[in-house]
Amino acid sequence: MSVPVDLRYFPDLSDVRLLNHRMAQVADMFSIDLNYSPLNGPARLIKTLEDRLLGTLLFLLFLPVAVIIGFCVWLTMGWPILFKQYRHGLDGKRFKIYKFRSMKLHTPKKGICQARHGDERITRLGYWLRQTSLDELPQFYNVLQGRMSLVGPRPHAMDHNALYKDLIGAYMQRNRVKPGITGWAQVHGLRGITEDVGAMQKRIEYDLYYINNWSLGLDLKILLLTIKRGFINDKP
């Protein structure tokens, strides 16, 4: 698979003054970080503290709801109550994501097989969980593990990554940060099933905007927008 890496260009810029660029000096040559993100150094520490402190608070806040949902899933669908699947995280490393199970037990088909409206695999409870995004609650545990953030690009299925990395040039750059429970794309309605490359391209543009313009204020704004309009999902 493709892995995002940091790139540096070494031009002769001794007599040129550049504004709004990330520059460094190696030996007697200047370098420009071509894909520098503000989410580095002290900002990464702030992001980690945000995830640890606010993530713990939200985990405890939603824990009673998660227990009730888990019981309802067990009562209507039996074991297991959690859906587990590998996704790509920071720097393309694999991790196991958790969701409440919303589908009947079935043998997964090879390749991309997204849930669609009227999908017979989705149970009545599962449909409601997906519509309210409550099936995502177990991912607070992923945040406490340090494998996800509260806010960041949503982790796509690995089959999607294999497909779109060759169709969208900057697709794998979203793995420069930890994936999130919610994100800039999601609060703008770019979520759920992707019908074509154009839909995915638009989602990636929002993800890259988030990475390039990260700030604690932007994260808090996304979290507030998630409470306001990010839970309700009209897609399967």
Give the model confidence (pLDDT) of 184-222 as tens digits. Answer: 999 988 887 777 788 899 999 999 899 888 999 999 999
Mean predicted confidence (pLDDT) in 165-182: 89
Give the model confidence (pLDDT) of 18-63 as tens digits. Answer: 444 566 666 666 666 656 666 778 888 999 999 999 999 999 999 9
Strands (DSSP E) contained in the chain are 8-9, 23-26, 29-33, 82-88, 94-100, 149-151, 180-182
* CA–CA separation, 61 and 230 (whole Å): 18
Q: Residues 188, 181: contact at Cβ < 8 Å?
A: no
Mean predicted confidence (pLDDT) in 160-175: 86
* CA–CA separation, 23 and 1 (whole Å): 29
pTM over 0.85: no
In this predicted structure, the answer to whether residue 117 has a pLDDT above a threshold of 60 is: no
Give the model confidence (pLDDT) of 126-164 as tens digits. Answer: 888 888 889 999 999 999 999 999 999 999 988 888 888
Q: Residues 203, 101: contact at Cβ < 8 Å?
A: no
Q: Residues 184, 217: contact at Cβ < 8 Å?
A: no
* CA–CA separation, 171 and 177 (whole Å): 13
